[in-house]
A and B are shown apart, each in its own frame.
Chain A
Amino acid sequence: AQSVTQLDSHVSVSEGTPVLLRCNYSSSYSPSLFWYVQHPNKGLQLLLKYTSAATLVKGINGFEAEFKKSETSFHLTKPSAHMSDAAEYFCVVTQYSSASKIIFGSGTRLSIRP
């Protein structure tokens, strides 16, 4: 069975400092991994995805994530936080050959302090 765990329900950082949102997964097969962002009262939007190509994935708005198979992790990082980054972030794992097996993490709320 596959699962995804977002290790922090809430992260607060100061503007201009680095952001780290942690995600661990388990999957019986080679997974595809995604990060989505949800701004208040909006739908979810793709930030980036890993689909077995390069292990370091760059996304929109300066975010990137590194797939580490040995640690079963897919942490999301950004060197310098901006006020507009305040949102909810979801780590998602899918299992190849079954688009119905799309599992969402419980989400991490990112707050940015001025």
Chain B
Amino acid sequence: NAGVTQTPKFQVLKTGQSMTLQCAQDMNHNSMYWYRQDPGMGLRLIYYSASEGTTDKGEVPNGYNVSRLNKREFSLRLESAAPSQTSVYFCASLLGLAATSTDTQYFGPGTRLTVL
């Protein structure tokens, strides 16, 4: 049982390049989330998926797209990377559907992205 896994762990991009961050969970969770973490700002929600086949914008969605490929996998794509997207990205999952907020979130180890 690996929990939540993320790839890659580190990535350096040049401005304008694209990339996809991968996330997978093996806990049969329904909801999945993408956050970015910047110093002094806590975690900010980029996109989330309340269930397989649905995605919704969070607090800071601009410049990102997501795909809920199946129940296990939720990817985050940067189409044209910008230096402002330099951050640590965390994927998380939660057992319940969007209507359930008392469940614990489980987090992946993070991806450190630098955009030059």
Report Cα–Cα, A107/B43, bound state, in Å: 9
Q: Chain B residues near A105: list those with CB within 8 A.
A: 42
Would you call A106 an interface residue if the criterion is a C-beta within 8 Å of the partner chain's C-beta atoms? yes
The residue from A95, A101, A102, A107 contacting B105, defined by CB atoms under 8 A apart: A102
CA distance A41 to B110 in the complex (A): 8
Within 8 A of A (CB), among B83-116: 90, 92, 94, 96-105, 107-110
Q: Which residues of A contact B50 (CB under 8 A)?
A: 99-100
A100 vs B103: C-alpha distance when bound (angstroms): 12
Contact in complex: B43, A97 (CB < 8 Å): no
Q: Is residue A7 contacting chain B, with contact meaning CB distance below 8 A?
A: no
Tell me how many residues of B have a C-beta within 8 Å of chain A.
Answer: 31
A44 touches B107 (CB 8 A): yes
> In the bound complex, what is the Cα–Cα distance between A46 and B104 (angstroms)?
7
- Enumerate the 6 nearest inter-chain pairs by beta-carbon distance, A residue then B residue, closest first: A43-B107, A104-B42, A94-B101, A104-B43, A51-B102, A44-B107
Q: Is the CB of A96 within 8 A of B107?
A: no
Q: Which residues of A contact B48 (CB under 8 A)?
A: 99-100
- Minimum distance in angstroms from A50 CB to a CB of chain B: 9
A/B interface sample: 15 pairs, CB < 8 A: A41-B110, A42-B109, A43-B109, A44-B105, A44-B107, A49-B104, A94-B101, A94-B102, A98-B101, A99-B50, A102-B45, A104-B43, A105-B42, A106-B42, A107-B42
A72 to B: closest C-beta gap in Å: 18
